[in-house]
Amino acid sequence: MTNVPHPFILIVGAADTGRAPMTAALLMRLLARTERPWRVESAGVVGHDGESAESEARYAMAARNLDIGGHRARSLDAALVAEATVLLAVERGIARVLRERYPQALAQVAVLGELAGTQRDIPDPFRMQTGAWMTYAQEIEALLNAALPTLIAMVEGKDDESTSEAVQLVVTEEPARPLSKLVGDMFASAIRPLPDRNEALTRSVRVLTALADFPGVLDWPAARRQIEADLSFVATAPLVEGDLVQAYIAVLNALLALTIQAPAAARYGQLQAAIERLQQPIDQLALAELSALVPVWATSESDLE
């Protein structure tokens, strides 16, 4: 990766709506300070294509004088992988997915924490309070500061120590945004269209498919929170009068609550089928069939294999 005329750093996250766009925005600013206006973008291994950054991510970046309001999530694909100089994963789990999916790009894959000389992975803050996002944004920036000399050395093919001396990056805190401006931005960003029912269902199915394809790699608790958020929206969108969608989703949430650990493959299939059933109005039969799974769900998962 030496003598790259136009380096392209691709930040890779899970959904490309939280940590990845935050990391990309922070890295662009750090690189600009070193007079390296490289191309920095983000993508996700679990496609949430076209979605905005999470509102909490936008608030956290606004507090650091960065605007990611125009960000739209996209799925990682082979074309992006081939184009990227470095695939910078936000955590080791994402890096494992990259190495499995794109073995031809092993030399391009790096992990933010490892480049910073630590094993720290920033947790996925989805559904956490805004304060957690603010804290993680600060941590991401600190990791990027520590990782920057090594990242530059990767791209420019130079020795880490000489690069570190040449960069001489002065880390300064950005002045805080005025409270009135932050509140205004938060209110404005809250007024955005919700996804339709099918979009929310498609996203949940996509998440389950990715989890089944990469068992033990993607984070089940974060994925479960994403699915619960999508189901919460779907519950407010009955298709017809008499649609028992709210009761059906209450049962689905009970199944998810019983699934503390990542489920076995059979249960992924059952969850996917149950969610796909929501593409049609829910009747008493569908509700009864799903309810029958609740006592089974409390048994050993090996019984489902």
List phi, psi (to 5°) of 43: -155, 170
Q: Flag whether pLDDT at 170 surpasses 50.
A: no
pLDDT on residue 216: 65
Convert the pLDDT of each residue in 68-122 to its tens digit.
989 999 999 999 999 999 999 999 999 999 999 999 999 999 999 999 999 989 9
Question: 229-235 contacts: CB < 8 A, separation 24 or more?
Answer: 229/126, 229/127, 230/195, 230/200, 230/201, 230/203, 230/204, 231/200, 231/204, 231/275, 233/194, 233/195, 233/197, 233/200, 234/197, 234/200, 234/201, 234/278
Q: Flag whether pLDDT at 184 surpasses 60.
A: no
Work out the mean pLDDT of the chain and round it to a whole number. Answer: 82
pLDDT on residue 72: 94
In Å, how far are 157, 161, 216, 246, 251 from 277, measured between CA atoms?
53, 57, 26, 13, 13
- Cα angle 215, 216, 220 (rounded to 5 degrees) comes to 90
Query: pLDDT tier at 62 (50, 70, 90 boundaries)?
Result: confident
Superfamily classification of domain 8-190: Response regulator (3.40.50.2300)
Query: pLDDT tier at 182 (50, 70, 90 boundaries)?
Result: very low
pLDDT on residue 112: 96
pLDDT on residue 39: 95
In Å, how far are 46, 124, 256 from 267, measured between CA atoms?
19, 23, 10
- Residue extents of the structural domains in the chain: 8-190, 197-304
Q: Flag whether pLDDT at 142 surpasses 70.
A: yes
pLDDT on residue 209: 78
Query: pLDDT tier at 133 (50, 70, 90 boundaries)?
Result: confident
CA torsion sign, 63 to 67 to 71 to 77? negative
pTM of the model: 0.64
Is the Cβ–Cβ distance between 28 and 93 less than 8 Å?
A: no
Q: Flag whether pLDDT at 236 surpasses 50.
A: yes
Please spell the DSSP secondary structure of 3-23, one letter per residue.
Answer: S-SS-EEEEEESSSSSHHHHH
Tokens representing 65? Answer: 């004088």
pLDDT on residue 232: 85
pLDDT on residue 171: 47
The stretch 23-37 carries a mean pLDDT of 93
pLDDT on residue 5: 65
Q: Flag whether pLDDT at 250 surpasses 80.
A: yes
Provide the b/e sequence for 104-142 (b: ≥16 CB within 10 Å).
Answer: ebeebbbbbbbbbeeeebbebbbebeeeebbebbeebbe
Least confident of 50-54, 109-113, 114-118, 162-166: 162-166
